[in-house]
Structure 1
């Protein structure tokens, strides 16, 4: 009899989804992105033997098998998950559950590494090599690819490698399409103040400073400060394609000093120490988020921030699994379905009379998760629903989501009207495959991991 709790299966059986690109010039090996989360067949003999040895009678054999599987890393995960979901051996089950959780977390929080030696090679060849090593889609249709460059990377984190190549080619790196594609653009601008932390890149964007002088209602006894100055540093956080972010906490400053040695930390009550889940982005899937931190300027003679160190907690999307599956949605009218986190009523799925190949989906969702009594049902849970609903044809090809056309909160739940079509409106390009009529509507469940990240900026000029 199986003993694995169903909640563990939900957490470990992750089916990662990837946005479908158009006809961009992609350099994508597919090695990482196409790796199945759960293998449909056994792995090579060595990996299968290691998994089998987890249930060996000799404890030393079991321990060695665990170490050997851990050394295999990410490539063994699909085969480990396959056995985890099928085995009846409680010892194998227990050890695999621990190993899969550990390796999956490490997969999320570790950067992809790049090793290459390029001498007078074209930018195209270099980008192709980086794409093959990481498995990431890199769109270079807006950059010059015939220039020659030389690079030496030895286990360089992905962001450092791609930034170095982009800078040498006179390009900037952008991740603002909310998909898993890295785009390089020819652009006569640079962002020199960056910080790298694992699979994340922090980019300082600007400093806002506001100074005011009180001219009335002054204290007769004097001593009060008539001048008030407010300052904030704004920055962006970009995540690698394998690390979609759902929300991020208010940054907490640990160190902030100017070039004269003075502290720039604001008073504790203004330093946003309390962790507020979903404070930024409120649950939507994204690879790019913006935020700011408050600063205090003690000495106006200071000309730069010598060191600024802070930390944030980032909620990452580790994978998805089908929660509600509706077959033949075009035939469904006002029918309810029960999921693990939400109830979904499909009112209708209809072809758009004015746009060929476009479909309108009308649904109502109800939250099944416990509601915080201090806050009530604030419907923050509904913010990502439009990204969790997928429409696909009989071949499994997914329609592009055109987002919410309308929404409303009612006592019966959260009502939405969504549109899906065959073209990628973000890029203006059609799908690279022919779509037939939709045969499946799926509400996916998102599995998340929260990871604390420390970042640091140095020698940032002050206004």
Structure 2
């Protein structure tokens, strides 16, 4: 019998992101985070501005830098004598000290002479994530064995080596309905340039290059100096992904700090005053695991390579999920109302047909949390969970109807039992196809700990268009 030896399996969570500097070609590069001292100090100075709007903007901007800004805040607190600035700095530091840290899942795993399927089973045990691997008939390919030696590797490092060595790819940014399942597919993925940083993975999707000429301008009898308008633009497209234990609620614009081509020319586009302001979301609201973003670069000579491309992507990340309100109810129960920590949950009606549970409810939240989480009302359907009498979490089917205003949301949410109708599709036929039930269910409303962070990236020798 072929030996299959599992020496050690373990997963640990560290409290900081510690990675080494980048690699070349299409291998993952580990980016080193960096913050601009002058920019940080500019926003700290604005904490003393007499205008409330500017002070608020400065606080929001400093929060967006994530935990890496803490040393700058502590230094300013020790040096700045302004009482108002010190008060704002203490508030910021207090907020950073109470939020969870975005630590990557760590893998300590040694395997000898194991197949791909055995490797996936061990990696699932080590990370707590489920893996989907399509069934395959017994063949020489399925009997190929591998040796693995992951010593304190991050989840992304281990997954990258697995895909590269075993010739499989994974469906990026899709973690199934449960948010914890990685789907692997046979066949190698396309070569790409990847930067791994803790729980984040940034990859280059490609470049977009455009040249145009407009004849709506040009020399005339009255303006001989006018010229034909010529435009040239270059941008790079990136995809940023987070591992399943976290989620994004918003991605901000990309800041390119260094872009040098093989002729030694900088391709960094100069930033104007608007670019220095707090930029908006690419996407804001519910949980997501990946987002594609782009950044403009200076056009130049066609062809060649970017010898180095370095920058940061601002993101808002769900670092933890905390149950706040729990209500036990049945389909025959009367309406219930519960308030806790500034959140009011009113369950108006519960319907249970044996295959799905429909809950008509209203949730409201007022006060300080809403000011820092304006998209809260749009995330309520993802914050509500249903557990059956056995403690199994039902799969969310989203909202059948949903209305929101500034501080409340109401409508009907649908949840499906996995042991219900096996027919595909989640339409009205499935909702009405089961038998009425009155089993007790537990409804849980969760709050999210949302952490602002900067995701550094570094790429080398990326071909230009």
Whether TM exceeds 0.5 here: the answer is yes
Asked whether the equivalents of residues 393 and 436 of structure 1 are also in contact (C-alpha less than 8 Å), the reply is no
Question: Does 1 or 2 have the higher relative contact order (CA < 8 Å, sep 6+)?
Answer: 2
Equivalent position SS for 1:265: coil
- Which ranges in structure 2 are unaligned for 5 or more consecutive residues? 1-5, 13-92, 427-436
Asked whether the equivalents of residues 11 and 108 of structure 2 are also in contact (C-alpha less than 8 Å), the reply is no
- Which ranges in structure 1 are unaligned for 5 or more consecutive residues? 1-26, 34-97
**Cα distance change, pair 222–122 in 1 and its aligned pair in 2 (3 A):** farther
2:264 matches 1:261: yes
**Cα distance change, pair 252–274 in 1 and its aligned pair in 2 (3 A):** farther
**Cα distance change, pair 177–281 in 1 and its aligned pair in 2 (3 A):** farther
CA distance in 2, matches of 1:244, 1:267: 32
Asked whether the equivalents of residues 261 and 304 of structure 2 are also in contact (C-alpha less than 8 Å), the reply is yes
TM-score, normalised relative to structure 2: 0.66
2:247 matches 1:240: no
2:160 matches 1:163: yes
Equivalent position SS for 1:141: coil
Asked whether the equivalents of residues 249 and 312 of structure 1 are also in contact (C-alpha less than 8 Å), the reply is yes
Q: Which residue is 1:211 aligned to?
A: 211
Over aligned residue pairs, what C-alpha RMSD do you find? 3.8
Equivalent position SS for 1:109: coil
Equivalent position SS for 2:272: helix
| Of 223-232 and 239-248, the range deviating more from structure 2 | 223-232
Match of 2:230 among 217, 227, 231: 227
User: How big is the shift at 1:232?
Assistant: 2.2
**Cα distance change, pair 459–367 in 1 and its aligned pair in 2 (3 A):** same
User: How big is the shift at 1:311?
Assistant: 1.0
Match of 1:172 among 146, 156, 169: 169
Match of 2:418 among 419, 423, 446: 423
**Cα distance change, pair 204–393 in 1 and its aligned pair in 2 (3 A):** same
Asked whether the equivalents of residues 406 and 417 of structure 1 are also in contact (C-alpha less than 8 Å), the reply is yes
Q: Matches of residues 176-325 of structure 1 in structure 2 within 5 Å?
A: 176-177=174-175, 179-218=179-218, 220=223, 222=225, 226-269=229-272, 272-276=275-279, 279-297=281-299, 299-325=300-326
**Cα distance change, pair 387–378 in 1 and its aligned pair in 2 (3 A):** closer
C-alpha deviations, 1:106-161, integer Å up to 9, x for none? 5x32451444364x532233333333333332222357643223444443332122
**Cα distance change, pair 379–296 in 1 and its aligned pair in 2 (3 A):** same
Equivalent position SS for 1:284: strand
Equivalent position SS for 2:267: coil
Q: Which residue is 2:129 aligned to?
A: 136
**Cα distance change, pair 270–361 in 1 and its aligned pair in 2 (3 A):** farther
2:358 matches 1:360: yes
Asked whether the equivalents of residues 345 and 365 of structure 1 are also in contact (C-alpha less than 8 Å), the reply is yes
Q: Which residue is 1:381 aligned to?
A: 376
**Cα distance change, pair 419–137 in 1 and its aligned pair in 2 (3 A):** same
Asked whether the equivalents of residues 194 and 203 of structure 2 are also in contact (C-alpha less than 8 Å), the reply is yes
Asked whether the equivalents of residues 242 and 289 of structure 2 are also in contact (C-alpha less than 8 Å), the reply is yes
Equivalent position SS for 1:190: coil
2:114 matches 1:116: no
Asked whether the equivalents of residues 342 and 369 of structure 1 are also in contact (C-alpha less than 8 Å), the reply is no
CA distance in 2, matches of 1:417, 1:290: 31
Asked whether the equivalents of residues 249 and 275 of structure 1 are also in contact (C-alpha less than 8 Å), the reply is no
User: How big is the shift at 1:272?
Assistant: 4.3
| Of 230-239 and 135-144, the range deviating more from structure 2 | 135-144
**Cα distance change, pair 151–336 in 1 and its aligned pair in 2 (3 A):** closer
Q: Matches of residues 335-414 of structure 1 in structure 2 within 5 Å?
A: 335-352=336-353, 356-370=354-368, 380-409=375-404, 413-414=408-409
Asked whether the equivalents of residues 248 and 313 of structure 1 are also in contact (C-alpha less than 8 Å), the reply is yes
Q: Which residue is 1:459 aligned to?
A: 461
Equivalent position SS for 2:382: helix
Equivalent position SS for 2:164: helix
Asked whether the equivalents of residues 248 and 288 of structure 2 are also in contact (C-alpha less than 8 Å), the reply is yes
C-alpha deviations, 1:183-207, integer Å up to 9, x for none? 2111353242111111211121122
Asked whether the equivalents of residues 341 and 445 of structure 1 are also in contact (C-alpha less than 8 Å), the reply is no
User: How big is the shift at 1:360?
Assistant: 1.4
| Of 196-205 and 411-420, the range deviating more from structure 2 | 411-420
2:118 matches 1:125: yes
TM-score, normalised relative to structure 1: 0.66
**Cα distance change, pair 186–343 in 1 and its aligned pair in 2 (3 A):** same
Asked whether the equivalents of residues 252 and 279 of structure 2 are also in contact (C-alpha less than 8 Å), the reply is yes
CA distance in 1, matches of 2:326, 2:235: 46
Equivalent position SS for 1:162: helix
